[in-house]
């Protein structure tokens, strides 16, 4: 029998709406009790004074690059980086090589994760073969193999007829469709947000309209099909407004926002820093503030990192040529606690967006510390200050716009299925 007693922390659990000082007892992979002064009999004790004890974070948008691009990341390193960031479960996108568009690849990812990753890995399968936006994948077979959602993330399904069909079939298998909402004809090669910054840099701009028009189309398709549409990495004010209206009209839509779109603007690209190049791009301060407001009022359900590792030699290319994306597991807590410090989110609402909401969207275990639930637990010291150095992290890649920045708030322990997999002082323990 394995027992862990987490002692003296502040339990912040949006799954049970609890925010209280108490001990938490885990036994044989399950949460068995909460209370003051619980007996430590036979238990490994973790002192959590001054820390928040939360259900493990769940990241429903990541890129692990395996199979095919292991020089950027693999399931082992991505899983370790996730654990160090406090994530106990992650969903990985299908833009691998080969694309995860057939059950054999889904199977491979699940198998590899079971051996190599300290955290649970849920594959998101491609919605169309080869991410080409033309022919639907075989959804039932992919679900049978373990896919938890469908997405052509990284690419946009431009053909509305295909997207309609994808949404219709997703209902039959009861899985969400995650849309990467950027109309390619409007992006038209833009590499930074279209506006004063793109003009100053002399780089082609990607207008917010590209996102807004596409979210609008997908919401209309979600309305007529009744499917569950999940909007990935919302970055625009217009996008947030449309999702808010759609919700009010009863459309089944959920949405996520990435830490970078909550805290950075296109000004971060002024020095041609390719680590700030991402798709969709960093936007204006007005867009960023609308994303923050949308997350605060619940229009946007959750925070997802869009962890997108790329090798140094790729990011050292000219801004137009460098691939978009940034790593995000190990900075997500320090970066997004900014919204708690500012008073935009209470600790409980922050935990809801990091854990409880993504668990419900993916319909996977976790997101709660209720008695009997899986012992996936994250301990966060919200006051711990550190200088972030990606070279000391667990990802194979270092493409972070926060390298060298001082962050406040850090994960001290990550427990998956009742097993301590990360301790800030000792590193990864599996
Ligand atoms: O910036 C991005 N990078 N956005 C995406 O949608 C894909 C991702 C990647 O795979 O690198």
One DSSP character per residue, 88-123 reads EEEEE-S-SSS-S-SHHHHHHHHHHHHHH-SSEEEE
Query: Does any domain span residue 367?
Result: no
3-state helix, strand, coil in the chain (%, to 5): 35, 25, 40
Question: What pLDDT does residue 250 have?
Answer: 97
Question: What pLDDT does residue 100 have?
Answer: 98
Whether residues 392 and 271 share a domain: the answer is no
The per-type count for the chain, helices as H runs and strands as E runs, is 15, 19
Whether residues 278 and 412 share a domain: the answer is no
Whether residues 45 and 72 share a domain: the answer is no
Question: Which residue carries 């854990």 as its tokens?
Answer: 355
Q: Using CA positions, which residue lies closest to atom 3 of ligand 1?
A: 325
Distances in Å between the Cα of 156 and the Cα atoms of 102, 159, 178, 209 are: 19, 9, 10, 14
CATH of the domain at 48: 2.30.40.10
What is the best residue among 97, 155, 306 to mutate for testing ligand 1's pocket, by most ligand atoms within 8 Å of CB? 306
User: Which atom belonging to ligand 1 lies closest to the Cα atom of 278?
Assistant: 1
For 42, other C-beta atoms within 10 Å of its C-beta total 10
Q: What size, in residues, is the chain? A: 430
- Residues forming the active site: 306
Question: What pLDDT does residue 419 have?
Answer: 97
Q: How far apart are CA 78 and CA 374, in angstroms?
A: 22
Q: How far apart are CA 32 and CA 25, in angstroms?
A: 6
- Domain end call among 362, 391, 419: 362
Please state the domain count of the chain. Answer: 2
Whether residues 122 and 204 share a domain: the answer is yes
Report the predicted TM-score, pTM, of the whole model to 2 decimal places. 0.98
The Cβ-side half-sphere exposure at 231, using a 13 Å CA radius, reads 37
Query: Does any domain span residue 109?
Result: yes
Q: How far apart are CA 370 and CA 146, in angstroms?
A: 26
Maximum Cα interatomic distance, the chain, rounded to a whole number of Å: 66
CA 422-67-148 angle, to 5 degrees, is 70
From the CA of 66, how far away is ligand 1's center (Å)? 15
User: Which atom belonging to ligand 1 lies closest to the Cα atom of 154?
Assistant: 6
The two three-digit tokens of residue 217, written as one number: 């189309």
Query: Does any domain span residue 224?
Result: yes
Whether residues 62 and 140 share a domain: the answer is yes
Whether residues 223 and 304 share a domain: the answer is yes
- pLDDT, mean of each 10-residue run, the chain (430 residues): 94 98 98 93 96 98 98 98 99 98 98 98 98 98 98 97 98 98 98 98 98 98 98 98 97 98 98 97 98 98 98 98 98 98 98 98 98 98 98 98 98 98 96
Q: How far apart are CA 255 and CA 317, in angstroms?
A: 32
Whether residues 183 and 237 share a domain: the answer is yes
From the CA of 155, how far away is ligand 1's center (Å)? 9
Whether residues 42 and 102 share a domain: the answer is no
Question: What pLDDT does residue 430 have?
Answer: 86
Query: Does any domain span residue 368?
Result: no
Query: Does any domain span residue 168?
Result: yes
* Domain of 419, in residue numbers: 3-53+373-428
Q: How far apart are CA 244 and CA 371, in angstroms?
A: 34
Whether residues 63 and 48 share a domain: the answer is no
Query: Does any domain span residue 89?
Result: yes
- Domain end call among 318, 339, 362: 362
- Domain end call among 322, 343, 362: 362
Whether residues 357 and 389 share a domain: the answer is no
Whether residues 354 and 386 share a domain: the answer is no
Quick one: CA dihedral 152, 155, 159, 160, positive or negative? positive
Query: Does any domain span residue 84?
Result: yes
Please provide the DSSP assignment of 327-344 as one string: --GGGHHHHHTHHHHTTS
Q: How far apart are CA 221 and CA 215, in angstroms?
A: 10
Q: How far apart are CA 339 and CA 331, in angstroms?
A: 14
For 201, other C-beta atoms within 10 Å of its C-beta total 17
Whether residues 320 and 411 share a domain: the answer is no
Query: Does any domain span residue 333?
Result: yes
Task: Please tell me if the CB atom of residue 180 comes closer than 6 angstroms to any atom of ligand 1.
Answer: yes
Q: Are 75 and 112 contacting, i.e. CB atoms less than 8 angstroms apart?
A: yes
Question: What pLDDT does residue 323 have?
Answer: 98
From the CA of 299, how far away is ligand 1's center (Å)? 23
The two three-digit tokens of residue 129, written as one number: 């073969």
CATH of the domain at 260: 3.20.20.140
Using a 10 angstrom Cβ sphere, with 0-12 exposed, 13-18 middle and 19 or more buried, the burial of residue 115 is exposed
Task: Please tell me if the CB atom of residue 152 comes closer than 6 angstroms to any atom of ligand 1.
Answer: no
């Amino acid at each position: 029998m394995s027992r862990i007693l987490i002692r003296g922390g502040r339990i912040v659990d949006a799954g049970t709406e609890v925010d209280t000082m108490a001990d938490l007892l885990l036994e044989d992979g399950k949460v068995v009790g909460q209370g003051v002064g619980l007996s430590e009999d036979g238990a490994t004790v973790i002192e959590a004074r001054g820390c928040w004890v939360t259900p493990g974070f769940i990241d429903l948008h990541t890129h692990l690059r395996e199979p095919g691009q292991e020089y950027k990341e693999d399931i082992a390193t991505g899983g370790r980086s996730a654990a160090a960031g406090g994530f106990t479960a992650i969903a990985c996108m299908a833009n691998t090589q080969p694309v995860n568009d057939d059950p054999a690849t889904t199977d491979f990812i699940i198998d590899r994760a079971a051996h190599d990753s300290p955290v649970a890995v849920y594959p998101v399968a491609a919605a169309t073969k080869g991410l080409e936006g033309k022919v639907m994948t075989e959804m039932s077979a992919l679900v049978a193999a373990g896919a938890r959602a469908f997405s052509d993330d990284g690419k946009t399904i431009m053909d509305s007829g295909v997207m309609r069909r994808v949404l219709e079939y997703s209902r039959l298998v009861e899985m969400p469709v995650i849309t990467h909402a950027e109309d390619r004809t409007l992006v038209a090669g833009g590499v930074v947000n279209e506006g004063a910054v793109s003009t100053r840099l002399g780089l082609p701009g990607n207008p917010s309209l590209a996102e807004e028009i596409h979210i609008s189309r997908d919401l209309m398709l979600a309305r007529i099909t009744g499917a569950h549409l999940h909007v990935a990495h919302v970055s625009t004010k217009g996008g947030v407004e449309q999702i808010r209206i759609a919700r009010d009209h009863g459309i089944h839509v959920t949405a996520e926002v990435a830490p970078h779109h909550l805290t950075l603007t296109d000004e971060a690209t002024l020095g041609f820093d390719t680590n700030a190049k991402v798709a969709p791009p960093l936007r204006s301060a007005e867009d960023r503030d609308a994303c923050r407001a949308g997350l605060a009022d619940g229009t946007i359900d959750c925070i997802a990192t869009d962890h997108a590792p790329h090798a140094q030699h790729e990011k050292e290319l000219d801004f137009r040529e460098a691939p978009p994306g940034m790593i995000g597991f190990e900075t997500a807590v320090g970066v997004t606690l900014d919204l708690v410090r500012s008073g935009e989110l209470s600790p409980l609402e922050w935990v809801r967006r990091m854990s409880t909401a993504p668990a419900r969207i993916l319909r996977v275990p976790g997101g709660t510390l209720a008695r009997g639930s899986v012992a996936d637990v994250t301990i966060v010291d919200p006051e711990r200050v550190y200088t972030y150095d990606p070279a000391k992290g667990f990802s194979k890649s270092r493409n972070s716009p926060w390298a060298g920045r001082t962050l406040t708030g850090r994960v001290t322990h990550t427990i998956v299925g009742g097993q301590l997999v990360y301790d800030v002082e000792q590193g990864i323990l599996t």
